[in-house]
């Protein structure tokens, strides 16, 4: 079987480890996916990802279809060749991206008219087109096109999103089965919507289960709400998802959010947070966030984190030099801090896997909670 998820702990809810088998290799879970939205990791070479602990990447089908286009990627050998990555790849359908465009998006029952990000004019991004695009790109895992409501507390808006999400998901499930399902070499994951409403989350999850998807994502979170509201969306979704299928929390990558979601039974994550924070001078450490542009670091001779073994910290480039480099708009500081941050997050995932297996997860959870409380703190 080209795709299979094996959870080591038979848990419906709670932290668990597992192994995700794909046509391009296995992934130990819980796992974090570095993001190459437009086919390129920002500030990190693909060759550096595995030494940092990464086993799977994420890219975005909508943006790749816009540039360079599906045919161009196929001509280069498919998405794995395009990303320069021979491991597993998941592609997002672009649902969040098109709906985050707000006024430029026009939703209808058959899809969404969205402004083309390269050519201008409007593109009708439909469930069928999202499915065909991902089938042609060739990732190991494709996501359904869903409706991501911008206001998860607006019941009418969320109910409408659930209705369209289910309609579109059935279309894509039928296309997936007609293509051979996971035997085609590609898995298809559904996305649970429902905002902050328990009955809508249950309705969406139950209906998706009937369509036989290969995995499930919790959607409609990480859209600007706080940590507690985000976890509420997870709490309302996870109980309805089968324990033998992988669970993916979309767009989440801050340390506290990762640990708390794993505590609730989530297996897979993605986010631009580690590399984006690094590009803007914020480093993640076990003592909290370091805002390296702060004046206190002007003459600091320490590396990013003296206790970190990553390449960026081992280089010995001082915090003060990084601060000066950021101010001068040099290229190296964002690369080094992004590399460190990605190492930190991937190391955190490995520590979570080890702590779950050793029965010590709660100790790690408390440590992360102390370093990253609900309101982030800086250390110096």
* Per-residue confidence in pLDDT tens, the chain, 380 aa: 589 999 998 777 899 999 999 999 999 999 999 999 999 999 899 999 999 999 999 999 999 999 999 999 999 999 999 999 999 999 999 888 777 766 446 889 999 998 888 988 888 999 999 999 999 999 999 999 999 887 888 899 999 999 999 999 999 999 999 999 999 999 999 999 999 899 999 999 999 999 999 999 999 886 767 888 899 999 999 999 999 999 999 999 999 999 999 999 999 999 999 999 999 999 999 999 999 999 999 999 999 999 999 999 999 999 999 999 999 999 999 999 999 999 999 999 999 999 999 999 999 999 999 999 976 444 44
Examine the fold and report which residue of 221, 240, 271 is the final residue of a domain before the chain moves on.
271
- What's the number of domains the chain is made of? 2
Assess whether 263 and 305 both reside in one domain: no
The answer to whether residues 136 and 265 belong to one domain is yes
One domain, residues 63 and 190: yes
What pLDDT score was predicted for residue 31?
98
pTM: 0.96
b/e per residue, 244-256, with b = 16+ CB within 10 A?
ebbbbbbbbbbbb
Same domain, yes or no: 91 and 211:
yes
Q: Are residues 129 and 217 in the same domain?
A: yes
Evaluate whether residue 286 is within a structural domain: yes
Residues with active-site annotation:
92, 270
Please report, for the domain that includes residue 113, its CATH number: 3.20.20.105
Q: Examine the fold and report which residue of 271, 293, 324 is the final residue of a domain before the chain moves on.
A: 271
Task: Say yes or no: 289 and 245 in one domain.
Answer: no
- Give the pLDDT score at 149: 86
Tally Cβ neighbours within 10 Å of residue 227: 15
Indicate if 243 and 291 belong to the same structural domain.
no
């Amino acid at each position: 079987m080209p795709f299979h998820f094996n959870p080591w702990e038979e848990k419906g809810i709670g932290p668990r480890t597992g192994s995700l088998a794909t046509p391009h290799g296995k992934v130990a879970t819980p796992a974090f996916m570095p993001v190459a939205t437009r086919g390129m990791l920002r500030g990190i070479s693909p060759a550096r990802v595995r030494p940092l602990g990464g086993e799977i990447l994420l890219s975005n089908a909508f943006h790749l279809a816009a540039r360079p286009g599906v045919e161009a990627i196929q001509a280069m050998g498919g998405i794995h060749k395009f990303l320069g990555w021979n491991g597993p790849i998941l592609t997002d359908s672009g649902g969040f991206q098109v709906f985050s465009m707000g006024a430029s998006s026009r939703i209808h029952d058959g899809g969404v008219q969205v402004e083309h990000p390269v050519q201008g004019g409007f593109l009708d991004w439909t469930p069928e087109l999202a499915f065909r695009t991902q089938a042609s790109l060739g990732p190991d895992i494709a996501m359904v096109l869903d409706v991501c409501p911008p206001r998860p507390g607006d019941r009418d808006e969320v109910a409408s999103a659930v209705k369209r999400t289910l309609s579109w998901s059935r279309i894509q499930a039928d296309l997936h089965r007609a293509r051979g399902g996971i035997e085609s070499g590609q898995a298809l994951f559904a996305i649970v919507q429902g905002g902050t409403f328990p009955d809508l989350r249950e309705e969406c999850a139950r209906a998706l289960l009937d369509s036989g998807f290969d995995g499930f994502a919790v959607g409609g979170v990480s859209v600007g709400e706080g940590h507690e509201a985000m976890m509420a969306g997870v709490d309302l979704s996870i109980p309805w998802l089968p324990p033998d299928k992988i669970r993916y929390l979309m767009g989440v990558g801050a340390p506290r959010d990762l640990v708390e979601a794993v505590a609730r039974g989530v297996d897979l994550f993605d986010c631009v947070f580690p590399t984006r924070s690094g590009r803007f001078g914020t480093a993640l450490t076990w003592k909290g966030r370091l805002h390296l542009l702060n004046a206190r670091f002007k003459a600091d001779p320490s590396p990013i984190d003296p206790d970190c073994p990553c390449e960026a910290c081992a280089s010995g480039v001082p915090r003060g030099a990084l601060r000066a480099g950021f101010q001068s708009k040099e290229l190296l500081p964002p690369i080094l801090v992004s590399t460190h941050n990605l190492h930190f997050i991937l190391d955190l995932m490995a520590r979570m896997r080890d702590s779950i297996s050793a029965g010590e997860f709660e100790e790690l959870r408390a440590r992360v909670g102390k370093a990253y409380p609900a309101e982030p703190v800086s250390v110096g």
